Structure 1
């Protein structure tokens, strides 16, 4: 995925995803987690930042889902760094464009988190 498209994924996560399937079934289904209705919901820094954001698509379900994915894909310090993007989305662009090795490692992990969140929580 090119950098521009990945930045779009990041912005989509920050903006909040909507359930385009129209499903109202909130019961867990057997097999792999494929949407936020079946995903367990977690609390943490990303969930808190998501819930306190002014994004119209935020919900306990969405924010809890993306926190669950964060728990599976990001360290605690990476979660704190990612949570800061809710108050300062431009910082995501700064880190993405950085040449620092630490920023590149973070961005790689954050990109994987974004891709997984999009799969699980949309």
Structure 2
């Protein structure tokens, strides 16, 4: 194997490890803080429509945390449509909001990196 293939492989491994760490952190957040998050955002239809996912096991909890982090990361879209309450959003604890923002941007970065690696692999022809 060439040096480029080793670099490509290690980078892919790091992305995969990053995704596993992200899932672990998201599940920890879901199992420990979801009630607090839902209490603070109880007047937000976009959040409350997703709230039953907390009873959907680990997969449902991941979807709920991912959905909430997306809403918190891009609030203007939901505020304009009346699906997010600005007062509830402002009362969400800063550190919790920050964690959700970091979670969302990190998963965007990880998925983008995985896609870029896949495209590079297709272009170079390293698939067998």
For the criterion TM > 0.5, the same-fold answer is: no
- Which structure carries more relative contact order (alpha carbon 8 Å, separation 6+)? 1
In the superposition, the TM-score normalised over structure 2's length comes to 0.29
